[in-house]
Amino acid sequence: MGRWAIAVHGGAGIDPNLPVERQEQAKQLLTRCLNLGIAALRSNVSAIDVVELVVRELETDPLFNSGRGSALTENGTVEMEASIMDGTKRRCGAVSGITTVKNPISLARLVMDKSPHSYLAFSGAEEFARKQGVETVDNDYFVTEDNVGMLKLAKEANSILFDYRVPLIGCAGAAVNDSPLQMNGLPISIYAPETVGCVVVDREGRCAAGTSTGGLMNKMMGRIGDSPLIGAGTYASELCGVSCTGEGEAIIRSTLARDVSAVMEYKGVGLQEAVDYVIKHRLDEGFAGLIAVSNKGEVVCGFNSNGMFRGCATEDGFMEVAMWE
């Protein structure tokens, strides 16, 4: 029997001016999700089941950008995406363009378990959800007052907004347009995407990973980020499980999650060295972070952004919830 380990994240890139109350709310949510996963692991629940359980909890709470509380498109609607992967035999499922499914991570799990495919999107994914009888809600359920305000700010600034719901006073207009940050060569504003994810290794040494997001505030209709892309935002193998967060286009270009496993496999290094390598050498000028577990019960968090909401725990009693370095 091996040792279990778990990690969760709520997004890489935190505004230094984020109110203390907001910081505490985030820490409390991550702690609650960690404890949920720990209780399941102590009851010998499998890694893939724990991942789905924890990400569902993150999607249901409107604090982070997934499920209820997802970022809004340019049209003021929500288009969510998620992926899940079981390192055992590298089974996976992913969905994009989800508008009515209450928990996209569970729909991704159904794609993995109940369909002949690995990835379904938009109307096809919604139709599959109806056939599977999953819980659906009106799109308005996912829209929060905070995000309506942030979309207004983004449109006034004519920008994609990486939102962490900092106070809006003094944040509009020129402050956004003067930002040195870019995505694919175009200027963007405050960097803080808030994607959520979970990685788990259970006592059997089985690794699993899951990631879920609403994407970018004021994104174009139909935009797909890294979160549903197996190998980019999510990956699990016999060696490790990885969930990424941050600048999606940079994560896609670097196939960041898969690269952690590849470095471990091809260079023969441990989890910490692999994570350090990909964060340093694979992101080019992008900003991102990731959480990872190994089949040996190790857990690692790495990022080059200004902080990352994260928490982790291991069977030997270690537990940590953190934001900054």
- The string of pLDDT tens digits covering residues 166-182 is 334 333 333 444 444 45
Enumerate the active-site residues: 195
Distance of CA 204 to the CA centre of its chain: 25
Residue 302 phi/psi, 5-degree rounding, is -140, 145
**Domains (range + CATH), the chain:** 5-142+189-322 (3.60.20.30)
**Whole-prediction pTM value?**
0.91
Residue 246 annotated as part of some ligand binding site = yes
Strand-pair partners of 161: 217
The stretch 90-106 carries a mean pLDDT of: 98
Q: Could you tell me which residues come within 8 angstroms of residue 266 by beta carbon, excluding any fewer than 6 positions away? A: none
What's the one-letter identity of residue 155? K
Question: Is residue 48 scored above 70 in pLDDT?
Answer: yes
Q: Enter the tokens of residue 124.
A: 């096809």
Residue 173 annotated as part of some ligand binding site = no
CA separation, residue 67 to residues 131, 183, 187, 262 (Å): 20, 24, 27, 31
46 SS3 class: coil
C-alpha closest to that of 291 among 95, 7, 46: 7
Task: Choose the weakest-confidence range: 124-138, 148-162, 176-190, 265-279.
Answer: 176-190
The pLDDT value recorded for residue 60 is 97
The proportion of the chain whose per-residue pLDDT surpasses 70, expressed as a percent, equals 89
Residue 225 annotated as part of some ligand binding site = yes
The pLDDT value recorded for residue 140 is 96
Q: Could you tell me which residues come within 8 angstroms of residue 255 by beta carbon, excluding any fewer than 6 positions away? A: 231, 232
User: 184-195: per-residue pLDDT in tens?
Assistant: 444 444 334 479
- Top-confidence residue, 30 or 171: 30
Q: Enter the tokens of residue 28.
A: 């409390």
Question: Is residue 15 scored above 90 in pLDDT?
Answer: no
Q: Enter the tokens of residue 150.
A: 């942030």
* Mean pLDDT value across the chain: 90
The pLDDT value recorded for residue 150 is 85
The pLDDT value recorded for residue 168 is 40
Residue 161 pLDDT level (bands cut at 50, 70, 90): low
The Cα 119–Cα 263 span in angstroms is: 25
Residue 223 annotated as part of some ligand binding site = yes
The pLDDT value recorded for residue 160 is 62
